[in-house]
Amino acid sequence: MRHPIRSAAALALILFLGACGQPAPQSTGAQSTAPAPSGSDGATATDAPAPAPSSDAPTNESWTAYKTKDGTLTFEHPADWVVTDPAGTPSQGGVFLAVSTGSGKQLATLRTNLVTGAECTTKTPYSLLDSEPVPALAQAGTTPRFVFEGRQGTDPAKTGPLAYGITSGPEPTGPDACPIFHFFTWPPSGASFGGAYDPMLPVEGATPGPDTPQAYMETQEYKDIKRMIMSLRPVS
């Protein structure tokens, strides 16, 4: 049985601590969503047509494609969002970029070359709000999933951590789950692409702002984030 998590105060979630021991992000580099010159070794962003509309598809039709600087991965995002690459010190030469709204609200980070081993020493009540497979990132017969999930904090009166991202881990069973570790298997070790939901931060186009994760899932921002993260795939 899954336990819903009440929304209250702001959360302070750092998604990728503990499991990988990666360094904290440093000062951001240049922001880029424009195409690189022909023949450039740098990252590129090119116009990409929006997928055919469906009943639950986002209405934002102005999207662009971004290719990581190492040329291995690509994803789509709304054209008015900003990709900062690098967003910190990459792990062992991997990718470390951040995606933000035009107003500067960080929505997700993408990192590769991460060490993904993690020990589960404690379990807490959890809430799985959204889950969908990402077949383009399947490795060795395992298909990772996009998930939006939460954990109960130490203070039941306050909001526990809530996060969205890609995971290769199995879906929790029973009433409790390990801490949130959003990593997926990717050569040479692992990668992550996701972010945290903070009910205290404003959401563009939503007035009043959503104060529960369920309400946030109905916003255009969440739908665009999910579409962006699920569009991640290897460069052909």
Residue 89 Cα to chain centre, angstroms: 18
Angle at 183 between CA 153 and CA 110, to 5 degrees: 105
Asked if pLDDT for residue 54 goes beyond 80, the answer is no
Q: Three-state DSSP class for 173?
A: coil
Q: Residue 226 above 50 pLDDT?
A: yes
The residue-averaged pLDDT of 183-212 equals 87
Sign (positive/negative) of CA torsion 156, 163, 81, 230?
negative
Residue pLDDT, tens place only, 62-93: 999 999 999 999 999 999 999 999 998 887 88
DSSP 93: G
Tell whether the model's pLDDT for residue 217 goes beyond 80: yes
CA distance 188 to 113: 6
Residue 42 in this model has a pLDDT that exceeds 60: no
For residue 230, is pLDDT > 60? yes
**What's the rounded mean pLDDT across residues 124-134?**
95
pLDDT tier at 208 (50, 70, 90 boundaries)?
Answer: low
d(CA 69, CA 232): 14
More confident: 60 or 175 = 175
Cα 33-34-37 angle, rounded to 5 deg: 140
The candidate with the shortest Cα–Cα distance to 109, out of 84, 91, 129, is: 84
| pLDDT tens, position by position, 134-183 | 999 999 999 999 999 998 876 766 777 899 999 998 888 888 998 888 99
**Over 90: is that where the pLDDT of 37 sits?**
no
Confidence of residue 9 (pLDDT cuts 50, 70, 90): very low
What percentage of residues in the chain have a pLDDT greater than 90? 51
Residue-wise pLDDT tens digits, 109-126: 999 999 877 678 888 899
How high does pLDDT run on average in the chain?
A: 78
CA 119, CA 171: separation in Å to the nearest integer?
16
Confirm if 74 and 66 have CB atoms less than 8 A apart. Answer: yes
Residue of 33 and 234 predicted with greater confidence: 234
Per the DSSP assignment, residues forming a β-bridge with 20 are none
When pLDDT is averaged across residues 172-197 and rounded to a whole number, the result is 92
Provide the Cα torsion 223, 227, 228, 234; round to 10°.
170
For 124, the token pair is 């807490």
Domains, in order of start, for the chain: 44-48+55-234 (3.40.1000)
